[in-house]
A = this chain, B = another copy of it.
Amino acid sequence: MDIHQALVRLGLKLPTPPKPVAVYVPSVRSGTLIFISGQLPLVDGRLELTGRLGESVSLEEGKQAARTAALNGLAVLDAELSGDWSKLVRLVRIGVYVACMPTFRDHPQVANGASEFLGSVLGEAGRHARAAVGCPSLPLGAPVEVELLAEVAP
C-alpha cells in the first residue's frame, strides 16, 4: 500500500505528526491495536478554523476540517508504523466529534469528510466502524476532533 502516492493524487502529503496539545502521547500500541489520540484540524501547529457547525462553520468547512484531522491521524499512524504501511491490517474504528449547535443534524456528512478521505487513501483497509456525535465545544475551539483505531500485523 503506497499511501504517499494516494495522498499525492489528492494533492496532499503527510504532515509532521502534530504534537499532543497536552500531557499524553500521540498513540499507544497494545497487541495488534494502535490507539491514536483525538486529532484536531491543525495545520502547521494552528487550527485551520474554529467555530461550530450550524453557526459559523459550513458543512463543507466541517468536512474539510474532518479530513485534515484524519490526515493528522495518518501522520501519527505513519510514525507508529515507522513508515512501513505494509504492517497495517486495517482501520478498525473512528470516533468523530463535531462541535455544533443543538439544532445541527448533519454530523454524518461532516464525519464523511474523514471517512471518505480515509477510504481514498487506504482503500479496502480504510473501511471502519464509526461513531459520530455532537459536542458544545472542542479543544482550542476546533470544529471537529477525530480519533482513530487501527489494527496492525502481529
Contact = CB atoms under 8 A, between A and B. Distances in A.
Interface residues of A, number: 61
A37 B107 contact: no
Interface in A1-38: 20-28, 30-33, 35-38
Given A32-B30, A35-B149, A97 B23 contact: no
A45 interface: no
27 contacts: A21-B108, A22-B115, A22-B132, A23-B115, A26-B129, A28-B93, A30-B32, A30-B89, A30-B90, A30-B151, A31-B31, A31-B32, A31-B33, A35-B149, A36-B129, A97-B131, A102-B136, A103-B137, A105-B140, A106-B139, A107-B137, A131-B147, A132-B139, A133-B135, A134-B136, A134-B138, A136-B136
Interface of A: 20-28, 30-33, 35-38, 52, 89-95, 97, 99-109, 111-112, 115-116, 119, 127-141, 145, 147, 149, 151
